[in-house]
Structure 1
């Protein structure tokens, strides 16, 4: 092949190339290399290739590897002609003469951004986001690990941030996906102008970006970033104003690998959203250890459900006026193989707000129906009250699953099952709660509002809710005899319930003094330690047979004067 043809192909090639001698001194550089680096070929001639590339930015040492092979490839970042750091792949091939001795080196520099823009692929998938041209998650992972190695060698600090647009779905729903895409592209441009030359910006999800800040960052820098992104974006004649939530973690304080650091920054971003959005949150390794411990505890609790380690205990409910037992409340316990019987306070906080919440709720419902079936065969016909969490009630398939459970126990009348919901369950999504509760009522199931007085129900909501019982929270009942404020709350709840002609039940009744005071106020139903502590199902028949002999409790109504007894029977408190 003519030498002139080879020379022409070298200089016209689209790839950035250098030809160096055996000692890696540059003999020639093509036009593509000059354009890529912004350096004249004449300046490059005679210089060592090692001097042209920042050794500290190489993921591996290709020159060392050339001692044992003739072709090596390494990823690194270089400073382009705009003075910005850019990712690239360095390929070095050692050429030999006729005697087999090393004579020259061919160095090829592949700019990854250019590869992505042209739609080409390297040996892996495309490294860049099509919409913004930014590195994607895969390339971010490689660049992050490279930055960490560089920081270790320099003893430097690196900040990793994950940034997410607040309420981006609402923007898409309101303005359309095309407008949303345009906003993301503009946002990427604005962030790019805010970061420094060596910093790296990547798009890792729809409205989620990652930032590698090579020099670290302080609170002032993070605040300025949020402020700059809060300025309006002008799209198609319309000004869109957004906020973002930012999570940040710092290496080496958070001494982990790249994937873990990204997870930590994402966790911090979600914490920023929980704090109200439009803010930043710095990852706390101690908090992460606590989070991991909670996750382990949740996994163990899921095993407890699967291994049938949970138990239902039952606390009787009575009519204090005539002493009748009117029902029981099912309360879950964990029979832990090492720690013994655990009360709800040890495990309920673990399940709130996660899928375990619904899983536990369905276990309790089935266990209660199973026990009702057993009691039905022995002549015990008391209703069982079961607590339903807000997430379970509003899960979308609650009525369907409940219907299936009732079908498994056809011998149990649906009216024996009573469901207790917190005020917050009804108030969180009133219309959805109303629809679900009414569907359950068509099955014959009644509802009670639990812990009444601790939430924010209005009189209008109380009138709307299809509830057949109001439970007064034990935190007010327990101290009502000594705390005037608690007494006032109890009086108000009883007055309100009577006005709306709703029966009520007081929780936390621990003494006869409580019982007499509640009866005088017009509340006749109660449960609490003064009446009975929660007990296993097998203990209930014995308690039921012993209860009538407790005349101090079962004859309370007879001790009331006639006006009070009349008030009770009318279920109205008279002024």
Structure 2
């Protein structure tokens, strides 16, 4: 028996049964759960039915109390002996369907007043609810009874009727409710078939039954069902299942909540539901059992044929092999796996002796290999050391002895910290070894070690964890090589490469403490110091004193945080000459990231600085007189106005124009005129105080700024001196020359406007001085009504012109003179005045400067030029258009938004084909804000140009800070460059500036072939002017393009050194 349960066949059968067992359990469990759910549902339905019936009864009682209370107040009821009483109650009963009868018995119980006719005398004084109402003089409820008037099972209610003085009960008003209402309510509750319900009194006798069964009335409840006892206790949670044919679930519950022991019992049948559940259980269990029996039969047959029989044969073969007998080679039937097993077993048996022989041979070979490996390890040039997991040495070869100096017997058993690790690195090495064991992966590392004599060496280690079969580290084998010499050589090569890789610049190298350890030849050439004069010293020996300690703190902070610093610095040579350097200082780190050296590379930029100074001087000073130009004048005037606001003083702005200077130029030539201007400029400057400024404003005009005036009249003496020195004779060569001056003056803050407007007011006052006879000055009249009225009328006419679309745009082409390429056209506004004809911009634009009209007209120009580009584009003409914008317009914060809207109206126009020209003479207050606005416009795709460059306030400032791609040389300089060396010098300077700042340059005012040729020789190829084309209406542009070709004289190859970069 025991063998049977241990056999493979029995275990397979048991396995099938065990697999099927959870299925059986699941089937019975599901059936059990389904049965419990059905019972719970029936109980819930019984409880809900009982509750609903009880609630309906309670509501009906409350309504009856109110109904009887109101009924007792009627006069007819208070007279129960009258016929009117019965008639009244009969009428009331007709409109109250909840009641089957209404009556009004007298206080002695005689019922004479009744809604229904009475055939025999009735006395109700014996009814407990009548007695209770009389005694309590309040509402009372009767028990279930057979109503004597209606002869129906009912519940009666009574309420006392008081006399007029409310002292005596004269009658009672009674309402009768039939129990048929609850039977009707149950029939509408959609209860299952064969549901029963009973209402019982305090003695547990049935007073009503559903469905109606008069035979049960008056019998005990237990008579109707064997599952129900005669207890009068009722609870929502008490439920019992009867053993009647329908297997009902009964629930008992109180019908009234006023203490009366009247209960309702509801029974819901379960039989049909349970029969369905049981049938499903039997069917499922039978199918599962049949499947199991079938599987057992098939498995037993298969196991015997395909498994047991082959296994028995295999057992016989293994027994033969164990006894040294031949294995049976007879064919085997059964599963493929067992057939293969028999074949492999036979093969295994045949090779067994051969395997045993090879094993003996392998053991001998392994022993020989082990001895050979031990010999190689012992004699390898690499140190080979074995450590346990605590970093204790367990093996130490000959090369390790040579590297570190310890004999094998000295090293084994000692911790690495006591052998080869420097004291300051023991913690780091221990942590690294712990990580090696944790990661279980080989690691290569270069370490600083010490020998037995505690001499520092640098070693390259390759350590490999050795694992046992469980994957745990049992030891670590390290191969080590002394690379000290190689490392020193490598560092020396790295240092040499760093020193000489930039030999054209001065180079010096320091150690980590900033002591100079080497310099190159260029260093000696630049500084004047010999090599041995600086070795061992610190670089602060070169300090010039021009930089603050804060500068050097920032320099070292950058080197420490970033590893380098680059910038300009002022140092001094050996001869104490201070010069500018372009310096880069870099830190050189060792393999562990520690600073080993600092390398400084520098170049002498003194000449570049000098050139920069000259350019800046040229940008701020007049070339001829060396007086401040408009740019510097604007800065100093702004400074004077700001100081005036804080000091509460006065500033005078005077514009001086020489009388008779043109005649001298015409009679004696420009060279004499220039010399006269230089002499007069020197004289005029001598009349001013140190705080004052005088500027050559252009031609023979000068502007003086008299700052820090204490009183308004303080300017007069200075102005008179200027008039005096201007009118004194000047001898130039053989010529005795004499001119005078007319000066216009305005005072700030009386003339409370901006700097540009102050100069304009002084200019207006100067013309008044000329009209007064010259050689005098005139103070600007701020309150001039005529001027205000005239300006207002002009502004009004310009507004009307804009509204009436009297403005038009003319277009002047811009070309590459050498190639003939048309690179664009500038849109120029004209006024088609209905009376005066075509007016140039000079006739009206000055009046709208700094006025809202300049913004309105500027937007019209932008919109019209965009529309014109679109019209040309439809004709196949693609010419970029540039327009001028005022300072007021470009300084509007919402300008980029408004420009974007204008661009969006013509989506076919590419923004890159549209350029905005900012007049360099414009006074842009907040350059930073203007630059931001222009950057926002550039993001839309448009480009910028600086127009009239060289005539304005802040040429270099604009060039450096504004994102303009193009510089336009003012036409006044270009027009006179062939006869005026000063103008030619300015043109050369502007072209040089453009190249230095990587900007394109366009020359305006090219009126002749000679102008163009001269510009091409200077490296400027782009131009516009009357020598190319006059401004023309838009309709004429396509025809001009079709016939345009560049001048023959301009087509020659560009000079190599002066070729335009535009």
TM normalised by structure 1 equals 0.49
Greater RCO (Cα-Cα under 8 Å, separation 6 or more): 1
